[in-house]
């Protein structure tokens, strides 16, 4: 089958294939906003890998099989309020955003507990567990687990289709095309949303999608809206936190209305980063949503459970085992945990030893703050420098073993321009979960995503401009 190197070696064929890809992407809504004017009318094809990346089948299936075990483990973690508060306390002392989220969590406890007591807590989870293959041990290790604003479910569905089309154009046989795993994250996510809205049960109930003003990744979001309407007849209102603060009305019965419409589900594609809360109004909106009786994706508890600090704590002996649904689940999940260390007690001998090792070997580690959205981590010399500075501020970070994926040749296409490079790929597996009280309505694996970045780039992140959307070709 056509390899990236072979395609890149023939400039005429390459140009044709790039044009095919760009046209297909435009024809099928595989788009991102240009970031100028109104993104709804100024779009460009999403950053793409021209061909799917070879990926070991067994590893891919391992990641998919873990989806339900992660669903139940995270649900158990999010339900343990004392655990969340205890583990996040030191980080919150040094990180205002984490402190504020915890404050919202505490301030809404009475409402939450009252609702839990009558079995009416409503939550939808759209998780994305991200992995990279660690070449030295040939094992798949988790980069992070996203519990809020897990993005690209729709565009990843489209990229897989585009790759099938392009390989077909290159003459791939049906047997070769069978190596492209089928998935439909778009419909899977939308069906979970539809199930939540249906269970809420109020005629005319809408989904509110909480968005950032000027979002460039709007098409990935708009696809959810369109499909939610087509498959489930549910309307979506796109609102910023500031707009929710201005328009939201919380009734004494816990019902939230926006512009007079009953809200059945609040789905956050914003609210995960401090800049989403420029004033008290945005925090007030977050509290309003947390206190209403609609389905939330996610609750504040889920957002906290997705903190890097929690992932690091789960990696400690016995902790995954405590929250996994069964010993078999624990065993399944345990193998994905990379080495991770907390930095709240720098005087501790084990911590001091790993910090010294990281300062001497910074390329074997990543230093991560309690942030989401890409572009926040420290690598290499900057990592060593930050560790050398020391100080209590480090409690807001975790130190993580650097995962070393095998480099692969790929052609990345941005704004119609192709560039061949050595690249590294990150696999994401979506899962959905709908629960009311103790009733789990849905727990499902929900498709996948591959993002590929230049091997010379430390960070990934398509939206952040480092990576391209890709899909796996199972080998
Ligand atoms: P965010 O929530 O901001 O996406 P991540 O933990 O996913 O945070 O880190 C961002 C990117 O940094 C990842 O997509 C990956 O490319 C890189 N990265 C994070 N952790 C590691 C690690 N342990 N080893 C190698 N690269 C990592
Ligand atoms: Mg993240
Ligand atoms: Mg990430």
Q: Is the CB of 452 under 6 A from ligand 1?
A: no
Residues 352 and 222 in one domain: no
Q: Where a domain ends, among 372, 402, 432?
A: 402
Taking CA atoms only, the protein residue closest to ligand 1 atom 17 is: 459
Catalytic residue list contains 121: no
Q: Is the CB of 402 under 6 A from ligand 1?
A: yes
Looking at residue 5, its pLDDT comes to 80
Distance between CA atoms of 88 and 92, rounded to whole angstroms?
6
- Calculate how far, in angstroms, residue 375's C-alpha sits from the geometric centre of ligand 3: 9
Residues 453 and 334 in one domain: yes
Which member of 94, 121, 282, 372 is catalytic? 372
Residues 348 and 334 in one domain: no
How far, rounded to the nearest angstrom, does the alpha carbon of residue 345 sit from its chain's CA centroid? 29
Atom of ligand 1 nearest to the CA of 451: 14
Q: Is the CB of 403 under 6 A from ligand 1?
A: yes
Residues 408 and 313 in one domain: yes
Residues 293 and 350 in one domain: no
Residues 208 and 349 in one domain: no
> Would you say 307 and 164 are in contact if contact means Cβ atoms under 8 Å apart?
no
Catalytic residue list contains 103: no
Distance between CA atoms of 132 and 150, rounded to whole angstroms?
17
Residues 247 and 132 in one domain: yes
> Would you say 48 and 162 are in contact if contact means Cβ atoms under 8 Å apart?
yes
- Calculate how far, in angstroms, residue 144's C-alpha sits from the geometric centre of ligand 3: 6
Which member of 308, 386, 435, 436 is catalytic? 308
How far, rounded to the nearest angstrom, does the alpha carbon of residue 91 sit from its chain's CA centroid? 21
Which run of H or of E encompasses 466?
none
Q: What is the pTM of this model?
A: 0.97
Residues 230 and 362 in one domain: no
Which DSSP string corresponds to 119-161? T--EEEEEEEEEEEEETTTTEEEEEEEE-S----HHHHHHHHH
- Calculate how far, in angstroms, residue 176's C-alpha sits from the geometric centre of ligand 2: 33
3-state secondary structure of 453: strand
DSSP alpha helix (H) spans, 28-95: 57-65, 67-79, 81-94
- Calculate how far, in angstroms, residue 306's C-alpha sits from the geometric centre of ligand 2: 8
Per-residue pLDDT of the chain (475 residues; tens, 9 = 90+): 678 888 888 999 999 999 999 999 999 999 999 877 665 678 999 999 999 999 999 999 999 999 999 999 999 999 999 999 999 999 999 999 999 999 999 999 999 999 999 999 999 999 999 999 999 999 999 999 999 999 999 999 999 999 999 999 999 999 999 999 999 999 999 999 999 999 999 999 999 999 999 888 999 999 999 999 999 999 999 999 999 999 999 999 999 999 999 999 999 999 999 999 999 999 999 999 999 999 999 999 999 999 999 999 999 999 999 999 999 999 999 999 999 999 999 999 999 999 999 999 999 999 999 999 999 999 999 999 999 999 999 999 999 999 999 999 999 999 999 999 999 999 999 999 999 999 999 999 999 999 999 999 888 777 766 899 999 999 9
Whichever domain contains 391, its CATH number is 3.30.1490.50
Residues 334 and 359 in one domain: no
Domain that includes residue 178, residue range? 4-338+403-474
Residues 365 and 456 in one domain: no
Residues 120 and 244 in one domain: yes
Catalytic residue list contains 71: no
Looking at residue 7, its pLDDT comes to 86
Q: Is the CB of 329 under 6 A from ligand 1?
A: no
Looking at residue 8, its pLDDT comes to 83
> Would you say 57 and 475 are in contact if contact means Cβ atoms under 8 Å apart?
yes
Q: Where a domain ends, among 366, 385, 402?
A: 402
3-state secondary structure of 428: strand
Please state the ipTM of this predicted complex. Answer: 1.00
**280 marked ligand binding residue:** no
Structural tokens at position 450: 């591959």
Looking at residue 57, its pLDDT comes to 98
Q: What is the domain count for the chain?
A: 2
Q: Where a domain ends, among 383, 402, 421?
A: 402
First CA to last CA across the chain, in angstroms? 12
Taking CA atoms only, the protein residue closest to ligand 1 atom 19 is: 143
Looking at residue 151, its pLDDT comes to 98
Catalytic residue list contains 128: yes
**162 marked ligand binding residue:** no
Catalytic residue list contains 296: no
Catalytic residue list contains 151: yes
- Measure Cα distances from 398 to 229, 306, 313 in Å: 41, 13, 10
Distance between CA atoms of 112 and 208, rounded to whole angstroms?
20
- Ligand nearest the Cα of residue 309 is 1
Residues 122 and 55 in one domain: yes
């Amino acid at each position: 089958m056509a390899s990236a190197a072979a395609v890149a070696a023939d400039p005429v064929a390459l140009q044709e294939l790039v044009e095919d890809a760009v046209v297909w992407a435009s024809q099928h809504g595989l788009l991102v906003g240009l970031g100028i004017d109104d993104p709804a009318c100024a779009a460009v094809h999403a950053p793409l890998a021209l061909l799917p990346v070879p990926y070991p089948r067994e590893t891919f299936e391992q990641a998919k099989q873990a989806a339900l075990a992660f669903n139940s483990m995270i649900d158990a973690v999010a339900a343990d309020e004392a655990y969340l508060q205890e583990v996040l306390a030191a980080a919150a002392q040094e990180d205002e955003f984490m402190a504020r989220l915890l404050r919202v969590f505490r301030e809404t406890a009475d409402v939450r507990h009252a609702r839990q007591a009558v079995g009416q807590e409503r939550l939808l989870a759209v998780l994305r567990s991200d992995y990279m293959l660690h070449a030295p041990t040939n094992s798949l290790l988790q980069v992070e687990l996203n519990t809020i604003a897990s993005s690209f479910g729709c565009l990843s569905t489209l990229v897989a289709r585009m790759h099938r089309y392009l390989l077909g154009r290159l003459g791939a046989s049906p047997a070769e095309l069978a190596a492209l795993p089928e998935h439909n994250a778009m419909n899977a996510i939308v069906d979970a949303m539809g199930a939540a809205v249906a269970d809420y049960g109020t005629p005319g109930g809408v989904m509110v999608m909480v968005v950032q003003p000027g979002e460039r990744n709007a098409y990935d979001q708009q696809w959810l809206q369109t499909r939610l309407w087509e498959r489930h007849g549910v309307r979506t209102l796109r609102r910023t936190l500031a707009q929710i603060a201005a328009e939201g009305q919380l009734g004494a019965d816990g019902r939230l209305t926006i512009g007079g419409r009953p809200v059945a589900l609040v789905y956050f594609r914003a609210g995960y980063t401090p800049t989403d809360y420029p004033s008290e109004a945005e925090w007030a909106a977050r509290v309003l949503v947390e206190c209403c009786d609609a389905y939330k994706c996610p609750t504040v508890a889920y957002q906290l459970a997705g903190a890097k600090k929690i992932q690091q704590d789960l990696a400690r002996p016995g902790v995954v085992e405590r929250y996994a649904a069964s010993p078999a689940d624990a065993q399944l999940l345990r193998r994905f945990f990379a080495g991770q260390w907390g930095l709240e007690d720098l005087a501790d001998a084990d911590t001091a030893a790993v910090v010294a090792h990281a300062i001497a070997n910074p390329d074997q580690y990543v230093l991560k703050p309690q942030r989401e959205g890409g572009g926040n981590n420290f690598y290499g010399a900057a990592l060593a420098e930050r560790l050398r500075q020391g100080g209590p501020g480090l409690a807001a970070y975790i130190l993580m073993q650097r995962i070393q994926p095998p480099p692969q040749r790929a052609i990345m296409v941005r704004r119609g321009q192709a560039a061949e490079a050595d690249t590294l790929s990150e696999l994401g597996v979506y899962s959905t979960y709908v629960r009311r009280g103790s009733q789990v309505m849905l727990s499902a694996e929900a498709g996948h995503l591959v993002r590929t970045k230049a091997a010379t780039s430390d960070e990934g992140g398509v939206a952040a401009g480092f990576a391209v959307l890709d899909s796996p070709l199972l080998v």
